[in-house]
Amino acid sequence: KAKSPATKKPSAATEVKSNLDVTVDEFQQSIVRHLHVSLGTDENKANSKAWWTATCAAVNELVFERATQTQKTHYKKDTRAVHYLSLEFLMGRLLKNNLTNVGLTEIAQQALDKLGLDFHKICEEEPDLALGNGGLGRLAACYVDSLATLDFPAIGYGIHYEHGLFTQAFLEGRQVERPDSWREYGNPWEICRPESVQEIPLYGYVETKYDDKGQIHKEWHPGRIIKGVPWDIPVVGYGAKTVNILRLWESRASDFFNWDVFNAGGYLDAQVENVQAETISKVLYPNDNTDAGKELRLIQQYFFCACSIKDIVRRYKRAHGDDWSKFAEQVVMQLNDTHPAIAIPEMMRILVDRAELKWDQAWTICQKVFAYTNHTLLPEALEKWSVRLFEKVLPRHLEIIYEINSRFLEDVVEVAFPGDDSVKRKLSIIEEGHEKMVRMGNLSVIGSFKVNGVAEIHSKLVKKDLFPEFNSLWPDKFTNVTNGVTPRRWLKSCNPKLSNLISEHVDADWPVHLNKLSKLADLATDSKFQKAYMQIKLENKIELAKVIKELTGVEVDPTALFDIQIKRLHEYKRQQLNLIHIMALYRRLLQNPDYDMPKRVFIFGAKAAPGYYMAKEIIYAINKVADKVNNDERIKDKLKIVFLPNYRVSLAEKMIPAADVSEQISLAGKEASGTGNMKLALNGAVTIGTLDGANIEIAEEAGEDNVVIFGLTVDEVKELKSAGYNPWDYYYANNEIKAVLDWFDCDYFTPGKPGELAEIKRSLLDYGDTYLSLADFASYSEAHKKIDKLFQDEKTWAKMAIMNTATMGKFNSDRSILDYVQNIWNLDTCDIK
């Protein structure tokens, strides 16, 4: 029988059993000691930031010992390891998360309590590690968490950006960007490792040499040498056994090069070179799902790949010397999208030019080492670099790419498709045209032994639409690994009340065996459990309402339906569809104040790439409509719209536990997977979504009664597009669409400035409505009517919410990692004593 959960206080029994034996008093003493010796201050002078830093230091004291122990054990056992190469790691805050994973949350809470400090307030001092844009970067963060939790030898490699993703503010409704400075005065989680600095060549020219036997040798004479300085961030597994490392490279001017210039009397020139070198790791490119195509970006990619490979090779050589025969047994490198694809020719360069292996031998090794994850089908995101740029920045790599390409075209394509030039043109790494381009996608497929998409439907489309010829050449190369999210951060730590309720009803190890949540299904119709579950949802909504008030000044009713769309702002994700539907609701309420719907709050969080004009227009439009609607007394608070500024991991952690409805409304075929959809459903939000990405699998798991699906399918989208889609047809056929779109022409939402929002209308009509918002509008509107009805039936709604939590076990990132391990990486776990 279900116990009454709401009465039970959170207890240490629900915490992970940590093997770190620390008492409250010891932890408290450690914090104070760090305040004194690490920060050089004392209890009287310390502000919250100092207390936060000291608390982190106290955690680190425990964690770094485990990290050292982990590295020692991996070395001693000479384990095979995965090297996760990613330009982005969106780690968020680490204090709460690390405490959760070492099982010391309660201890820390009590220690701070005894010091007269508020744990949650101290945690709020932490800046997010925002070293990523969105789903792709956050996925990397979830994956390193799972790798450590499951005790797999792994290392994450990336860039130590001085400035992560910009912070967003709204100025009269428009997005403005400011630099993010997450480590202006240092960050307690990172440790510099000067003993592992690497030097990286760039620019220059290639000399062809012949030895005595007439053999050709290539020598790259670089024009610049850049220093790569590693910073290590501990990645604490749940249970605190394995602590892996995230190694991020910072660029600096190489001492060696600058001395030359300096000695020649060029002190100032040397300083200019310093600035250029340091620019490489200065800032994260703020684009999600689009290719920046800039020289500095290519250099960033090469810089971190070259540093990482040198690091990997150094470690390998320590155990195996110059014997390369075991390299592919010990090393697997996962390419997180094509961003690190340059690692393939770099590895070839090391093996052929440096280790002097024969080409075939080197290529055999390479093809056993790399695996590639594709994260998008959007054409604007598929990376290409001009041959001209390549030649300038990485002349030797261009030669190597040409060699890889010509061998591939002759030995593979010509054999499989004899005489078929059109296939050759398509599969070639080099795209011919008025400007020759290097296609990083083709390079990644050719150089990898496995290629995976990130959700079932996406992986099918990767095979069918993106790489059909490669798939027919190598059908076994292509596979799927559906994305997942770590339940430690995305349930246990961000939603403690729900976690405690869950722990009262299922085994306490559910954070590592998320399938155990399925037991909750038995309680989905139990009225006592429903009450407890919905009470927690309400309390989470009350908390979020406070945040909303603080950030926007808008007051919202916590008993209203909280409908949340949080993700990057992109036209394919269709925030504009959400907006025009909200406007339609507003119009219905104006026409009929008794229009039957529950009170609703529509909540947005999204950053737009600074150069993405239409995305910024959509943000502005939402903010302007919000201003008008929120202050319109005629609709009696039945509708509120809030756009929370500066959406980021730490804000997501406050929004997700409070969501009733999760908006997953991308045009079918465009969202590779999505991961916010999983987090929201896990926390009991009901998805309103299209049959796109992982939504399909979420619907399968939750059951069709517990999600609301609408819109065109992938096949219907293709049909409609090939038949010739005309948005004007929908405009003229649907009065509501017409009225809403015409609203954008006047100054109703922008008093005194008519037509200020007209770009939205133009994009949906004149520019062709690329993502078929108008085609899906009617179906979306019906889906919302269904949601309204369901929400008003409290019991049904509670059952749906609970069923969502109960059925999301599949989307644990541990399951994704085990899929990678079994189908791609072939790793063994390694116990750390």
Find the catalytic residue in 55, 242, 373, 675.
675
Q: List residues bridging with 210 in a β-sheet.
A: 216
- Mask for 687-726, x = binds ligand GLS (CB under 6 A): ------x---------------------------------
Give the residue at shortest CB distance from ligand GLS.
135
Mode of pairing for the β-strands spanning 437-439 and 430-431 = antiparallel
Kindly tell me the burial class for residue 224, based on how many C-beta atoms sit within 10 Å of its own C-beta (0-12, 13-18, 19 or more).
middle
In whole angstroms, give the CA distance from residue 51 to residue 22: 19
1 in catalytic set: no
Please state, as a whole number, how many other Cβ atoms lie within 10 Å of the Cβ of residue 295: 13
Please state, as a whole number, how many other Cβ atoms lie within 10 Å of the Cβ of residue 39: 17
Residue 812 to residues 77, 251, 481, Cα–Cα distance (Å): 29, 35, 12
State yes or no: residue 454 binds ligand GLS (CB under 6 A).
Answer: yes
Nearest distance, CB of residue 606 and ligand GLS, angstroms:
12
Judged by CB under 6 A, the stretch of 55-63, 214-222, 294-302, 673-681 that binds ligand GLS is: 673-681
Phi and psi for 277 in degrees, rounded to 5?
-65, -40
In whole angstroms, give the CA distance from residue 442 to residue 423: 13
Return the structure tokens found at 783. 């889906």
Return the residue matching tokens 């808008």.
554
Nearest distance, CB of residue 290 and ligand GLS, angstroms:
8
Return the residue matching tokens 């022409």.
745
Site for ligand GLS in 70-89 (CB under 6 A): none
Return the residue matching tokens 């299209």.
690
Provide the CB-side half-sphere exposure for 161 (13 A, CA). 28
Nearer to ligand GLS, 372 or 620 (CB): 372
Nearest distance, CB of residue 569 and ligand GLS, angstroms:
13
- Mask for 352-381, x = binds ligand GLS (CB under 6 A): -----------------------xx----x
Find the catalytic residue in 74, 375, 450, 463.
375
- Mask for 259-298, x = binds ligand GLS (CB under 6 A): -----------------------------xx---------
Nearest distance, CB of residue 463 and ligand GLS, angstroms:
17
In whole angstroms, give the CA distance from residue 560 to residue 793: 13
Judged by CB under 6 A, the stretch of 128-136, 252-260, 354-362, 755-763 that binds ligand GLS is: 128-136
Nearest distance, CB of residue 570 and ligand GLS, angstroms:
8
Judged by CB under 6 A, the stretch of 109-117, 383-391, 665-673, 752-760 that binds ligand GLS is: 665-673
Nearest distance, CB of residue 665 and ligand GLS, angstroms:
13
SS3 320: helix
Nearest distance, CB of residue 449 and ligand GLS, angstroms:
20
Applying CB under 6 A, among 483, 486, 503, 750 the residue interacting with ligand GLS is: 483
Nearest distance, CB of residue 374 and ligand GLS, angstroms:
9
State yes or no: residue 459 binds ligand GLS (CB under 6 A).
Answer: no
Nearer to ligand GLS, 109 or 675 (CB): 675
Q: How far is CA 98 from the centre of its chain?
A: 19
573 in catalytic set: yes
Please state, as a whole number, how many other Cβ atoms lie within 10 Å of the Cβ of residue 401: 27
Nearest distance, CB of residue 289 and ligand GLS, angstroms:
4
Mode of pairing for the β-strands spanning 331-336 and 167-171 = unpaired
Judged by CB under 6 A, the stretch of 298-306, 532-540, 650-658, 667-675 that binds ligand GLS is: 667-675
Number of helices and strands in the chain (H, E): 34, 25
Q: List residues bridging with 452 in a β-sheet.
A: 373, 479
Find the catalytic residue in 227, 310, 568, 799.
568
74 in catalytic set: no
In whole angstroms, give the CA distance from residue 406 to residue 363: 13
Nearest Cα residue to 772 out of 709, 708, 729: 729
Site for ligand GLS in 740-779 (CB under 6 A): none
Nearer to ligand GLS, 135 or 447 (CB): 135
Find the catalytic residue in 83, 477, 567, 799.
567
Q: Tell me which amino acid residue 134 is.
A: G
Site for ligand GLS in 371-430 (CB under 6 A): 375-376, 381
Please state, as a whole number, how many other Cβ atoms lie within 10 Å of the Cβ of residue 428: 17
Nearer to ligand GLS, 151 or 288 (CB): 288
Nearest Cα residue to 646 out of 602, 618, 605: 605
Site for ligand GLS in 555-574 (CB under 6 A): none
Nearer to ligand GLS, 405 or 664 (CB): 664
In whole angstroms, give the CA distance from residue 772 to residue 717: 8
679 in catalytic set: yes
Find the catalytic residue in 396, 573, 638, 784.
573
Q: For the chain, state the CA radius of gyration.
A: 27
Q: How far is CA 248 from the centre of its chain?
A: 16
State yes or no: residue 139 binds ligand GLS (CB under 6 A).
Answer: yes
Nearest Cα residue to 308 out of 81, 74, 85: 85
Binding site for ligand GLS (CB under 6 A): 134-136, 139, 288-289, 375-376, 381, 454, 483, 671-675, 693
Q: Which residues are catalytic?
A: 375, 567-568, 573, 675, 679
